[in-house]
Amino acid sequence: MLEHGGNLDLAVQRFGGRAQDWIDLSTGINRQPYPVGEMPHDCWSALPPRSEIESLHRAAQQAYATAAPVLAMAGAQAAIQLLPRLSARGRAKILAPTYNEYAAVLAAAGWGVTEVSALDELAGAELAVVVNPNNPDGRCHAPAELLALLPRVGLLVVDESFADAVSGLSLAPEADRPGLLVLRSFGKFYGLAGLRLGFALGHEVVVAALAAMAGPWPISGAAIAIGRRALLDREWVRATSARLECETLRLDAAVRSLGWALVGGTRLFRLYETGDAHAAQDKLARGQIWSRIFTQRPGWLRLGLPGNETEWARLAAVLSR
Is the Cβ of residue 146 or residue 237 nearer to a second copy in the bound state? 237
ω into 136 cis (within 30 of 0): yes
Is the Cβ of residue 156 or residue 192 nearer to a second copy in the bound state? 192
In the complex, least distance from residue 321 CB atom to a second copy, rounded to whole angstroms: 26
The residues near 161 (Cβ < 8 Å, ≥ 6 apart) are 28, 76, 99, 131, 135, 183, 184, 185, 188, 198
What is the three-class DSSP state of 301? strand
State the burial class of residue 38 (Cβ atoms within 10 Å of its Cβ: 0-12, 13-18, 19+): exposed
- For the chain, the maximum distance between any two Cα atoms, rounded to a whole number of angstroms, is 56
In the complex, least distance from residue 109 CB atom to a second copy, rounded to whole angstroms: 8
Query: What separation in angstroms does the CA of 258 have from each of 168, 171, 316?
Result: 34, 37, 11
Give the integer Cα–Cα distance in Å for 61 and 155. 21
In the complex, least distance from residue 23 CB atom to a second copy, rounded to whole angstroms: 12
Is the Cβ of residue 2 or residue 118 nearer to a second copy in the bound state? 2
In the complex, least distance from residue 200 CB atom to a second copy, rounded to whole angstroms: 14
Is the Cβ of residue 240 or residue 274 nearer to a second copy in the bound state? 240
In the complex, least distance from residue 114 CB atom to a second copy, rounded to whole angstroms: 22
Q: Are strands 155-159 and 127-131 parallel, antiparallel or unpaired?
A: parallel
Query: Which strands make up the sheet holding 297-304, listed edge to edge?
Result: 261-265, 269-273, 297-304, 292-294
Question: Do 80 and 105 touch, CB atoms closer than 8 A?
Answer: yes
In the complex, least distance from residue 293 CB atom to a second copy, rounded to whole angstroms: 17
Is the Cβ of residue 78 or residue 207 nearer to a second copy in the bound state? 78
Give the integer Cα–Cα distance in Å for 21 and 10. 14
Q: List residues bridging with 301 in a β-sheet.
A: 272, 293
Is the Cβ of residue 27 or residue 132 nearer to a second copy in the bound state? 27
Is the Cβ of residue 108 or residue 317 nearer to a second copy in the bound state? 108
In the complex, least distance from residue 233 CB atom to a second copy, rounded to whole angstroms: 16
Q: What are the φ/ψ torsions at residue 35 (nearest 5 degrees)? A: -65, 120
Query: What separation in angstroms does the CA of 142 have from each of 23, 146, 167, 270, 313?
Result: 34, 7, 11, 20, 37
The binding site for a second copy (CB under 8 A) comprises: 1-2, 4, 6-9, 19-20, 24, 27, 29, 31, 33, 36, 39, 42-51, 74-75, 77-78, 80-81, 85, 101, 105, 108, 187, 191-196, 212-223, 226
Is the Cβ of residue 105 or residue 277 nearer to a second copy in the bound state? 105
In the complex, least distance from residue 48 CB atom to a second copy, rounded to whole angstroms: 6
Q: List residues bridging with 88 in a β-sheet.
A: none
